[in-house]
Amino acid sequence: MKTIKTSFSALSKNESIRLDFGMRYVDDILNFNPFNISDGNFITIGDVLKEIQSKKKNKGDLDDKYKLIELANINKRFNRLENVEEVDNISSDKTVLKEGDLIIAKMTPKLGTMFLNLEHNEYIGSTELVEYNIINYDKIALYYILTSNKVLSILGYMESGKNQRRVKSDDIFKIKIPKEKSAINTFIKNKDIELSLYLDKRKDLQKIVDDAFLKCTDIKDIPNNKKLSTSLEFIGDDDFCRMSFHNQNYYKTFEFNKILTDEWCPIEQKFRVSGGKRIPKGMSFSTKPTEYFYLRPKEVSILGINKEEIPFLSEDVYNIIKRYTINTNEYCISNVGTLGKVGLINLEELGIEKDKLLMSENFVKLSPLDKLNYMFYYYYFNSYIFKKQVGLDKIKKMSVPKFNSNKQEEIISYIQDELNEQKEIINKINNLRDELDKQINLFAKI
């Protein structure tokens, strides 16, 4: 346990008189100086950022179409927006984003959830997003400094709140950064150009998987309709009388049930289905490394499982929920919260012993009844075709293919060639970002 000694004098300097360890560490130990810049060589973020009071759009129909920015649309630390949709109706109040040079999320800024809007394009966005104008500082250089590992680390300590943890603008403004230097600006701009070249080469990983199944199966189209018409007769044919968009889109527009030929079967013919388990109330993760791990959707992506982020469990917690383990060649699929995240478990690759990886309640586990092509079904579970079924009430409603081995290998080959190329691009992007951070850290102390 880490402890910090403070004083009433130090506490009184913060408007909200924060007693938590994070703020005391940032204030009393780091002095809001993540780069450890000597006196006279720094300015504060407040010297170069000015907050803008944005207008609001109330939920409901809009007077025109707007590009909608949610936190998930912001490519963290790389100044890109992804999968932005135009909408003419919103289900909750939104912020109009147009006047500012830089937009920063109040929630999760420690992840680098921010982007530049130098052309002042008009968006509507989550009310978590705040606009700022950049004054007397190179805008691109400032973006990369604010999203550097040193600044993001300090933002993590500065979060406050019980459930939805946020950072206030007034606290962000206190962080000290290096004074503007032409050497930093030139280096950052050159790396930004190089990064952009690789970012342009990235492909939508979901689309790669979907294209493989469209190319190699009888499914010729994947609908993305936002508005549907249906009938009471159609709703009545469904066992659960569901009227949600999700159910009607999948079963009415896509008409998946009409293509269930001999190449498809109910999921329970190939897999035993079971669930995960929540950590008992009043208990939490272990603060020390143990031999027991607890897998959540946030550690899972189409590129694999990030072991470094999997939390540990104490032996006491493990013994209470040890029935909910997941082992090699079993699948976990998130069906609560973020739907459709898929993991194929390989304990040897993860460096975890058998029966010591547990699965959160957000997952359903699929255990193969017989030996099968594990990678083929991993990609199928990652496909749009399957993911549109994940939100259904009953697992027996889901269907899986039983394609011949040639068709399975054709799909696997198509996907793996594309994904391997994307992995190389992603590694290059991450290495360039690491180079940027290292140089920013060095320049800051000159």
- Please give the single-letter amino acid code of residue 372: L
Q: Are 208 and 383 in contact (CB under 8 A)?
A: no
Residue 246: its pLDDT value, please? 46
The reported pTM is 0.77
d(C-alpha 388, C-alpha 31), whole Å: 50
Q: Which two tokens stand for residue 170?
A: 């007034």
Among candidate residues 150, 164, 168, the one with its CA nearest the CA of residue 14: 168
Which residues contact residue 416 at a Cβ distance below 8 angstroms, ignoring those fewer than 6 apart?
375
Q: How far apart are the first and last CA of the chain?
A: 34
Residue 292 burial (CB count, 10 A): 24
* Fold (CATH) for 32-180: Adenine-n6-DNA-methyltransferase TaqI; Chain A, domain 2 (3.90.220)
Residue 226: its pLDDT value, please? 45
Residue 4: its pLDDT value, please? 59
Among candidate residues 118, 119, 128, 110, the one with its CA nearest the CA of residue 73: 128
Average pLDDT, the chain: 86
Backbone dihedral angles phi then psi of residue 86, each to the nearest 5 degrees: -90, 135
- Counting runs of H as helices and runs of E as strands, what totals does the chain give? 15, 24
Residue 120 burial (CB count, 10 A): 11
Among candidate residues 285, 284, 400, the one with its CA nearest the CA of residue 333: 400
Region 284-295: mean pLDDT is: 94
β 60-69/123-125 pair status: parallel
* Fold (CATH) for 260-401: Adenine-n6-DNA-methyltransferase TaqI; Chain A, domain 2 (3.90.220)
* pLDDT exceeds cutoff 50 at 240: no
Backbone dihedral angles phi then psi of residue 108, each to the nearest 5 degrees: 60, 35
* pLDDT exceeds cutoff 80 at 234: no
Backbone dihedral angles phi then psi of residue 331, each to the nearest 5 degrees: -110, 145
* pLDDT exceeds cutoff 70 at 172: yes
Helix (H) or strand (E) holding 193: helix 182-199
Residue 5: its pLDDT value, please? 61
* pLDDT exceeds cutoff 60 at 65: yes
* Percentage of the chain modeled with pLDDT above 70: 83
- Please give the single-letter amino acid code of residue 180: E
d(C-alpha 120, C-alpha 54), whole Å: 13
